Structure 1
Amino acid sequence: MAYTATVIPVMIASPGDVAEERQVIREMIHEWNDINSARSKVMLTPIGWETHTSPELGVRPQKLINQRLLVDCDLLIGVFWTRLGSPTGNEASGTVEEIHRHLNAGKPAMIYFSSKPVAPESLDREQYESLKLFKTECMQKGLIESFNDLSDFKDKVRRQLSIIISSSPYLSSLISTINNSPYANTSQSLPESNLSADALSLLKLACVDDSGTIYVIRHLGGTDIQAGNQSFGGSSAREVARWEGALNELLSFDYVIERGAKGQMYYVTHKGWTFLESLNE
């Protein structure tokens, strides 16, 4: 069924050595849409220099990216491994320029640094030293997240994408403003009454006993999400995505909080217990 949605362009900012990571970001954006878009009336669209630019002479390449792509993006996801990128004349690299301009506009950014092993002889030392300096700059601003491999990266982007969409004042204000316009068919973004059936089931199962606990168990065969006496996900990637999406909903509404290492254990918050009790009144 057709529906009206607020479209949020997401800039994928990265140098050329992280093609696999860029693809993961696109996959996680599409997965978020599949799980959340119809309910939240919000749709994310990935934007990147490798898919949204064309050759043009006479203009600084980065200026074209800034003017035609970056300026319209409301969220930026940046990822690095061993390279910072080529200098633009204004900044240490095009990716750095994109990040700085985006942040200076008051918009949210998610910045990731890969810790994947790399052959020493393949390193461009100058690039790597420049990257370390930029990483230090980002750490001082509290912007970064590290990951060990593509699976770890996928898990973190999947979980943190939902969190930033619901917790960023900029995005919340943007969505609320558009959805409250005379032309919108929804009154506000991500209303609590729109909690999906899966998320509500997960919350109810976690509260079957007083522990209020949800476990995420990752193993070679897949991922199990356990609440109460039931387990979801398993070896089906689609089912895992479905129930991780439900868990991310609960996180975005502050109904659960992560307490275990590496996203393995979650506890129902006071807000979560109160919300569930209100349904029974």
Structure 2
Amino acid sequence: MPYDAIALEIFIASPSDVLSERAAVREAIAGWNAVYSRSEGVVLMPVGWETHSSPELSGRPQQMVNDRLLSHADILVGIFWSRVGTPTGEAVSGTIEEIERHMEVGKPVMLYFSNAPIPQDMIDDEQRKKLNEFRKWAQDKGLYQTYEAPEELRSKLRDHLPTAMRENNYVSGMLNSKGTAPAETQHNAWPLSQSARTTSFVGADGQRLLKAAAVGNGSVMVRRYLGGTLISAGRQDFTKDDSDSRTVAQMTAAVRELADHGLIEDRNGKGQLFQVTHQGYQVADELPDDFAGPA
């Protein structure tokens, strides 16, 4: 019978030499859904370039993947065997750029490296060097597991997914807020608690940004393009490509207001990626649940 569930997207990141493993990841996700989705009220949705992209000549290919697929994903599963992939102009490879972007906003990454022998005709010294460097980087961060064959990868991922769903802060935070929906009515400004170290007021736009970030992934992003400015918090978009200049100015001021109050902090020093502070979470806890989204 039908049941309500929240959908979490799992982005499958890899070079082109692990097609069997990509299929194994999808099988592991399907296995998790079959066992847990009804009882947990969660459905995991596999996302990848082979099923969710189309040919288009409108910009840097990797940027389109980042914007249209990766930015909406909740978990990233990365797979490597004999190569890292093709440089993007901004990273060693598209796969590594995806991993770096995903980690920048505090979302979970699960990495798997194949130990299977590499056929002589597939060995590329430059690719192998870059792969070893990236593997060392991942090892230092305690980020990865190894496997010998796609079947082992499928089995390991099936075992690891319940742990990730239960213990990862980002994922558990998403699940704890699964009953939250964007509000449809405008509210007046909500006074901040004394426990949040401020007696001033943050406007309704700032409150909505903060609440959406706090119940989402803890981040506020400001992305500026030739076509406009995109501002998002958690999983909510507060401006879009067709937003008018007044709306963009209004939401930009809200981001600045939150930063000035110490409720979010600039993580890269460029005014592009902000993270909710401890004080910000305290304030967000004082706000109504229906503030988690645009008015």
Which interval holds the TM-score relative to the shorter structure? Answer: 0.5 to 0.7
Q: Cα offset for 1:142?
A: 0.9
Offset, 1:121: 3.4
Deviation at 1:182, TM superposition (A): 9.7
**Counterpart in the other structure of 1:128:** 128
Aligned to 1:48: 48
Structure 1 segments of 4+ aligned residues over 6 angstroms from their partners: none
Paired residues for 1:194-209 under 5 Å? none
Task: Tell me the equivalent position of 1:150.
Answer: 150
Secondary structure of 1:54's aligned partner: coil
User: CA shift at 1:123, angstroms?
Assistant: 0.7
How far is the alpha carbon of 1:181 from its aligned partner?
A: 5.6
What RMSD over aligned residues (CA atoms) do the two structures have, in Å? 1.4
What residue is the counterpart of 1:24 in the other structure? Answer: 24
Alignment of 1:260-275 (within 5 A): none
Give the distance between the partners of 2:182 and 2:59, measured in 1 at CA. 40
Task: Summarize the alignment of residues 202-281 of structure 1 with structure 2, pairs less than 5 Å apart.
Answer: none
- Deviations along 1:139-191, whole A, 9 cap, x unmatched? 111101011112221211110011101110110011111236699xxxxxxxx
Instruction: Determine the structure 2 residue equivalent to 1:86.
Output: 86
Sort the Cα spacing of 1:64 and 1:117 in 2 relative to 1 into closer, same or farther, 3 A.
Answer: same
C-alpha contact (below 8 Å) 2:5/2:37 kept by paired residues: yes
Unaligned runs of 5+ in 1: 184-281
Q: Deviation string for 1:31-73 (max 9, x for gaps)?
A: 1111110110000000001111111113000000000000000
Is contact 2:28-2:155 (8 Å) kept?
Answer: no
Is 1:57 matched up with 2:57? Answer: yes
Distance 1:17 1:115 in 2: 13
* Mapped partners of 1:10, 1:123: distance in 2: 30
Q: Secondary structure at the match of 2:178?
A: helix
What is residue 6 of structure 1 aligned with on the other side? 6
Distance 2:68 2:86 in 1: 20
Residues 24, 151 of structure 2: 8 Å contact kept: no
- 8 A Cα contact 2:15 2:84, kept in partner: yes
Inter-partner Cα distance in structure 2 for 1:110 and 1:8? 15
> Percent identical across equivalent pairs?
42
1:191 aligned partner: none
**Partner in structure 1 of residue 33 of structure 2:** 33
Give the partner amino acid of 1:155: S
The residue type paired with residue 145 of structure 1 is: Q
Aligned to 1:110: 110
After superposition, the Cα gap between the structure-2 partners of 1:121 and 1:26, relative to the gap in structure 1 and judged at 3 Å, is same
User: Please, what TM-score do these two structures have when normalized by structure 1?
Assistant: 0.63
User: Shift in Å at residue 122 of structure 1?
Assistant: 2.2
Whether the 8 Å CA contact 2:74–2:108 is kept in 1: the answer is: yes
Q: In the aligned structure 1, how far is the partner of 2:22 from the partner of 2:128?
A: 19
1:99 aligned partner: 99
Q: Name 1:177's counterpart in structure 2.
A: 177
Residue 8 of structure 1 aligns to a residue whose secondary structure is strand
Distance in 1 between the 2:122 and 2:76 partners? 28
Contact 2:11 2:48 in 1 (8 A): yes
Output the CA distance in 2 between the equivalents of 1:57 and 1:151. Answer: 37
Residue by residue over 1:115-148, the C-alpha shift from the partner in whole angstroms, topping out at 9 and shown as x without a partner, is 0112233211111111111111111111010111
SS across alignment from 2:8: strand
With the length of structure 2 as denominator, give the TM-score of the two structures: 0.60
Q: How many residues align?
A: 183
Q: Give the Cα separation in 1 of the matches to 2:122 and 2:87.
A: 20
The DSSP-based 3-state class of the residue aligned with 1:178 is coil
Q: Which amino acid aligns with 1:53?
A: S
Work out the CA distance in 2 between the residues paired with 1:108 and 1:122.
31
Q: Distance in 1 between matches of 2:79 and 2:122?
A: 19
Match of 2:72 in 1: 72
